[in-house]
Each structure stands twice: as C-alpha cells, then as structure tokens.
Structure 1
Amino acid sequence: MAQTARPHHGLLSFLDTDGKSHPVENTLAVTTLVIGAIAFVTAHFTQLHLLSSWTGLIGMITGAWGQLISATTGERFLLILGLGASAVGFYLGMAHGGLFGGVLG
C-alpha cells in the first residue's frame, strides 16, 4: 500500500502504477498509439493507402515489441488500442492498394 501514498505527477502517470519509471516502455506505448491513430484515420481515404499500410505495419511491429517488454497494465492497455488501430489501418491500406501501390507491377 505504500505505492498508493506516493503522489504521481504528469499526464501519463497511470502508466507507472508500480511506482517505478519505465521510459522505454511508456515511449513504445504512446508511439504505438499515435502511429495506430494515424494508420486508422488515413485508412479511410483510398488515396492514402501507402501511408496507412506502412504506418499500420510499423505500428504493429512497435506494438508487438512493446507487449513483449511492457511492465504495467496501463502500458498494455495503450498498446492494445494502438495495435488494433494499426491493424485496421494496415489491412484497409492493403485492400486499397498495398505497401507499394502498383509500383512493382
């Protein structure tokens, strides 16, 4: 119960619920969430299939790595949201034209 008496400051203080600082894990969680949001939003525009498919792929890779090294539930929560958004962006980007957009063939 000592960790509940310790005040947490900062916007993302819910990510460090164990009382320790996890800068790498927190950075991966927030990065995955931002990349996933970009992939999800751009996937709804057919012309942006290159951006949505590549950001979706990068978001899935960073999210998977973040899941492997995550330490708290807050980090895992953001990672799952980012992974889901990245996957939707990736798959819709692939459906709209793919990673290379007709450059190879």
Structure 2
Amino acid sequence: MPNVLGRVRRPTHRLTLNTDGKPHTLENTLAVSTLVVGFLALVTGFVVGLHPVASWVGTIGFCGGLYAQYVSVTTPQRSLIIIGIVGSFVGAALGIAHGGFLPTH
C-alpha cells in the first residue's frame, strides 16, 4: 500500500522566520532588533541608576516594534516582535518609575 500514497515526506523542523519560503531580510532584521532592544530595556529597567537608558531604549523599542509589527509578514516574526514590544514597554515603565528620561543628581 505504500505505493498508493507515494513517497511520504517528513517535515523538517527548522528555526526560521521565513515560513512562507521567501526571504524577508528587512522584516527579519526588524523583528530580531525589536527583541534585542526589548530585552535591553527590560534588563536596564531593573537597575535604578540606568533609568535614562531604560526609558529611552524602551520608548525607541516600543515605537520601532509597532512599525515592525506593521510591516511584518510571517507569524514567527510577529511573535518575536510582540515579545520585544512587551519587554520595551515594561523596561520603559520601570525606567520612568525610577526617575524618568533625564539623569538625576
């Protein structure tokens, strides 16, 4: 009976952002950048002395993440972008709560 079904191909699971088979270099770069900036904002948001960095990086990451979400093409890109947006938002909120955008003496 295997000859009726033909050759059965098993899917190879690879970690990729291009699930549609087309290259999306700009969109992939924006997705990964949003994730990295969100992580940076989140980490610096927990350090009280780095509140200006957390505030600015979080705000830039949040706004950039919204644009990246707008131009994203695939679901894995959107997943990374949402994680980065949330990290940026939380980092910016912590930075603002610890002192805001400008350094304090």
Q: Which has the larger radius of gyration?
A: 2
Amino acid at match of 1:51: V
Amino acid at match of 2:41: A
Which of residues 29, 33, 37 in structure 1 aligns to 2:31? 29
Question: TM-score, normalising length from structure 1?
Answer: 0.84
The alignment covers a number of residue pairs equal to 97
Is the partner of 1:58 in helix, strand or coil?
helix
Partner of 1:94: 96
Unaligned 5+ segments in structure 2 are 1-8
Q: Deviations over 1:7-63 (max 9, x none)?
A: 897xxx521000111011000000000000000001111000011111101100110
Amino acid at match of 2:81: L
Q: Distance in 1 between matches of 2:40 and 2:47?
A: 12
Question: TM-score, normalising length from structure 2?
Answer: 0.84
Q: Distance in 1 between matches of 2:27 and 2:38?
A: 16
State whether structure 2 residue 72 is matched by structure 1 residue 61.
no
Partner of 2:87: 85
Cα distance, 1:101 vs. partner?
3.0
Q: Distance in 2 between matches of 1:38 and 1:102?
A: 21
Cα distance, 1:102 vs. partner?
4.3
- Following TM superposition, the consecutive aligned residue runs of length 4 or more in structure 1 with deviations greater than 3 angstroms are none
